Structure 1
Amino acid sequence: MECAASDANDLSSIHLHKRQQTKDETRSAMLDLDFLDCPICIEPFTVPIFQCDNGHLACASCCPKLSNKCPTCTLPVGHIRSRAMESVLESIFIPCPNAKLGCTTNVSYGKQSIHEKECSFSLLCSCPLQDCNYTSSYSNMYRHFISDHQNKYMLFCCDTFANVRMNISDKILIRVEYEVSLVFAVQCFKEPCGVYVTVSCIAPSFQEVGKFSYHLSYTVDGHTMTYESPKVKKVLKVSYQIPEESFMLIPHSLLRGEILDMKLCIKKLRQE
């Protein structure tokens, strides 16, 4: 009886080991996505996928290069769709290549490059402060200022006027919008004709970022200058060149020292 029980335990142990081994092999196979690449050009398959009568696969790009002849068996290839492989391909999703940067999108295998061109995390923004070399996605730039530049920005809320006081020699003032988590730069450029003032948003020109306009006013000795821009320009890196568009020019006759006291309202526009 003891021998029978021992044999039963051994068989059970072997069975569990085989089941675990099978699970590990299955898991390994699931993680190995090389089979989703064209065996000819080694690029990820995209729909449509073709096969010869023997089931050898080729992508749509390779078929004409092969004169529609299978390199493995020489049978015609490029006319019969591999529907089964296309179904497998369309059922597999993988994390965006920019997942480490914060993108949470899962993309269909073979369409990574298409998504990457549109992914807001692909385009890195540079910190607008001249003494900082930090680069990141636009969404991380907000957190960067909150954690690393506590005394070098002013918080504000869109659609409300706020006082903006800046020294012309500083050239840049950072405004951080806490509801949409975006960083805006107010810049001034002193030139012989006066001082140029412009506003930009540190972000790529993607729809998800949103659209903004701004209203800027400057008052001195009872005289008020106003400027309204229909859009806030989005930039990955601020430029220290004189702006060619979207700026207010304050003539020297209206300057009183090196300080500019202005009112600024950045408005969030409705998406069309």
Structure 2
Amino acid sequence: MSPGGGFGQQITESCITFVDLNAAISNLELRSPPFKKTASNPSINLGTSSTNDVHELLECPVCMNLMYPPIYQCPNGHTLCSSCKTRVHNCCPTCRQELGNIRCLALEKVVESLELPCRYQIVGCHEIFPYYSMHKHEKNCKHRPFNCPYAGAECSVTGDIPFLVMHLKDDHKVDMHDGCTFNHRYVKSNPQDIENATWMLTVFNCFGRQFCLHFEAFQLGMAPVYMAFLRFMGDEDEAKQFSYSVEVGGNGRKLIWQGIPRSIRDNHRKVRDSQDGLIIQRSLALFFSGSNKEELKLKVAGRIWKEI
């Protein structure tokens, strides 16, 4: 197998900055929550409001996140979170009135005693938390969607594991393999000119679960290195049930790494930067290739097993 190489892209997170009020209004019209909240809970009693109504009442109309004090309102009663108040230049994105510094004390008082189901209730979470604890829970809820594990380019797709497997196959055209052993060959011409590169992801179906094999080049300090590591398509507690080994070698020499696959909850860059995998310096990789440093031809073999 000779996967094609491509330069890795660092994925950075940035806050939304609205250039003007019209941009904010456009954002308000187009954005929607990641999960539609339709389930109701009889323990929540706010007049005739359903759980869905409560969530909508407490969501900032711009960023769609739940609002925490201080919550601001315009003279017409439209509410906004404190972060978005500055982003829309102190103008209400709903009616364009000046926001000023009017606090919505009634809504702030309501959230002090409010209990709500997790926003991921629709996909299986049945927990109920005080409002102020909800954000922490939802950030780590095991039912929250997974991010696409593809490393070759930025991808914002999220979903459950079956959906992401089909997404990787259909949209990213990754290699899909059945079995718990692998023996791949990674090739790259002019390796001296490459500082950061990512080879095509490979997904393995093993023990009824999926694993992602990564291989990439990057700078470790001043040293150019290659790294191979495995990620598990599931949560960390499940990943700890498995182990894997990976080895490279040539000219009568061999390097072997054994470890636990990392959950795809940790993005590939975090795993790479933690050095949790087999790392080989470029000079040694080229020595293994036996190509006089003109071409990388590195064989990476390994296996996956389930701990008893």
Shorter-chain TM-score category?
A: 0.5 to 0.7
Structure with larger Rg: 1
Residue 145 of structure 1: how far off its partner (Å):
1.2
Which residues in structure 2 correspond to 1:207-218 (within 5 Å)? 207-218=237-248
- TM-score scaled to structure 1, two decimals? 0.53
Secondary structure, counterpart of 1:239 in structure 2 = helix
* Correspondence for 1:146: 169
* Correspondence for 2:303: 265
Residue 199 of structure 1: how far off its partner (Å):
0.6
Distance 1:29 1:254 in 2: 62
Distance 2:157 2:232 in 1: 11
Distance 2:187 2:121 in 1: 40
* Correspondence for 2:204: 177
Secondary structure, counterpart of 1:226 in structure 2 = strand
Distance 1:132 1:218 in 2: 28
- Aligned length, in residue pairs: 191
Which residues in structure 2 correspond to 1:21-60 (within 5 Å)? 30=42, 33-34=45-46, 41-43=109-111, 45=113
* Correspondence for 1:234: 263
Secondary structure, counterpart of 2:124 in structure 1 = coil
Secondary structure, counterpart of 2:152 in structure 1 = coil
Distance 1:99 1:153 in 2: 34
Q: Residues 244 and 302 of structure 2 are in contact (CA less than 8 Å); yes or no, is this contact kept in structure 1? A: yes
Distance 1:130 1:212 in 2: 25
CA RMSD in angstroms, aligned pairs only: 4.1
Percent identity between matched residues is 12
Structure possessing the higher relative contact order (Cα contacts under 8 Å, 6 or more residues apart): 2
Aligned counterpart for 1:199 among listed residues 219, 224, 229: 229
| 1:143–1:128 Cα change, 3 Å | same
* Correspondence for 2:184: 164
Q: Residues 142 and 183 of structure 1 are in contact (CA less than 8 Å); yes or no, is this contact kept in structure 2? A: no
Distance 2:128 2:273 in 1: 44
* Correspondence for 2:275: 244
Distance 2:144 2:155 in 1: 18
Q: Residues 250 and 287 of structure 2 are in contact (CA less than 8 Å); yes or no, is this contact kept in structure 1? A: no
- TM-score scaled to structure 2, two decimals? 0.48
Distance 2:182 2:145 in 1: 30
Secondary structure, counterpart of 1:207 in structure 2 = helix
Secondary structure, counterpart of 1:128 in structure 2 = coil
Residue 253 in structure 1 maps to residue 291 in structure 2:
no
